[in-house]
Amino acid sequence: MRNVVLIGFMGTGKSEVGQLLARRLGWTFIDTDRRIETRQRATVAQIFARHGEEYFRRAEAGVVAEVASRRDAVVATGGGVVLRPENMMHLRRQGLIVSLTAPVDILVQRLGEAKTRPLLRGNVRESVVRLLDQRRPLYRDADLLVDVSDATPERVVEAIMALLRTRERTTISVRLADRTYPIHVGEGILPLLPADLREIEAGTKVAVVSHHALLRGPGAKLLAALRAGGYEGFPIAVPAGEASKSLTAAAHLYTRLARFRLDRYSPLIALGGGVIGDLAGFVAATYMRGIQLIHVPTTLLAMVDSSIGGKTGVNHARVKNLVGAFYQPALTVADVRMLATLPERELRSGLAEVIKTAVIGDAVLFEFLEQHLPAVLRRETAALVEVISRCAGFKARVVEVDERERSERRILNYGHTIGHAVEAAAGFRRLTHGEAIAIGMALEARVAQRLGVADAKMVDRQNTLLTRAGLPTKLGAVNRRAVWRAMALDKKIRDGVLRCPLPVGIGEVVREQEVPDTLLREVLAGGQNSRRLRA
């Protein structure tokens, strides 16, 4: 998210508004006049008196060039900063420009005799009129103009926060039969969450469910943002790993929620990856018969998949997601800054779901990945926002027409029929979820080719991209018989026949295709004796 730069005439309250806004965002506040005074060891009035205005403007330009390169800063500038085009060029480079304005009468009233204002010599009103006539067009060249005549600093801050929520993130809406909820995607947007909570009329007590390490890192920033926005956050930690997706872990969360006296108006924030999202979502769906759920995913996989669409669940008896519910979140906030410290293997794992999305429904995304995969792997903000937004948009469209997976939503299971079985056969430890899905995609594409649904070129193009992303496309040492046994419990088997989505081409999929047992055994065997899979 870009810096916020406050411009405007003296007396418009830039410093007061800037400090309040910085506290709300958890950012650094910089007052350029104060920084100049510190470096010159003199007040602005003294600098003008000793050296003149031109000297001051040069010092100001130096400070502006320096602070403009800062990150996560609210910058309150002097009233004359707009006079030099190079100043505004620097400030606009990574900053939103907010101009605070007021009529002459209000400014004169606020400035009083203005003894400390070196440019207000003689008659204050005449000086204000003269300077405003010169600067007014420059003050109007801003991303937002706020009249502060009768607005409190708090109201001005709310207006700026509204601008940030509109301009600094991409929003995808999931439109369901009974309601609509947003998915926000952007960089550094987590501090905007309290304003989102007010919009959904959430209670002031907020539970934050996450892993210990995440609660010490992004969790601490999230809790600080909640406090700054007037909310009381209650962190609840669960151990990392698939083992936490259990009824035992769910019971632990129920106990903690009750102990904190959270009621049915208290939202629950799931801060983490798929495990946290599935577990916290299941708890939110069942605690007091349902409380508001907010997803704040911290992995690429969760941002493009598990935080969208309302699937929740826990594992049981080594069967993945056997116990669960469809329960839609109130909103999802995907802040790509969360991915900066994500382990490389986890980032690549998330790309399996991204590539799956591209294969089944977004040929443009697939081409983007072919061209810009290095930028994604370097975690460049623009590339990540593009990928996540396209994936979220596609999944939103699918969920809108089939919320409970009775028809169209089944296409999202591409790669998961074999992939979930591979994950179970590997004991939910040796392979990440994304790695298992990548293997599932490669094998299911092979099934599609054998059935004549897809051609060899499509299969090769998909597997090449998976390989470039550092993902496996073969079973390797995974026990084939264990995979076969796990598939016997698949929910997509009806009347003894497996029906699953298969790709037709890049961006196109057949929703439900019958797959003969003999063919499935042959593909799993991978050239070995398929009869061994009968054991």
Enzyme catalytic residues: 289, 311, 353, 395, 405, 409, 413, 416, 420, 433
Identify the helix (H) or strand (E) that includes residue 255.
helix 247-259
**Residue 73 φ then ψ, to 5°:** -135, 145
- Residues sharing a CB contact under 8 Å with residue 515, sequence separation 6 or more, in sequence order: 447, 451, 498, 499, 500, 502
3-class DSSP assignment, residue 147: strand
310: left (phi over 0), alpha (psi -120 to 50) or beta: left
Of the candidates 348, 396, 350, the residue with the CA atom closest to the CA atom of residue 180: 396
For residues 127 and 111, the answer to whether their CB atoms sit within 8 Å is no
- Count of beta carbons in the 10 Å neighbourhood of residue 101: 20
CA atoms within a 13 Å half-sphere pointing along the CA-CB vector of 221: 18
Give the whole-angstrom CA distance, residue 362 versus residue 368.
10
Beta bridge partners of 500: 513
Helix and strand tally (H, E) in the chain?
Answer: 22, 17
Give the whole-angstrom CA distance, residue 421 versus residue 427.
10
For residues 107 and 17, the answer to whether their CB atoms sit within 8 Å is no
In the block, which residue shows the tokens 């002459």? Answer: 104
In the block, which residue shows the tokens 């995913």? Answer: 297
Q: What angle do CA 497, 502, 506 make, to 5 degrees?
A: 180
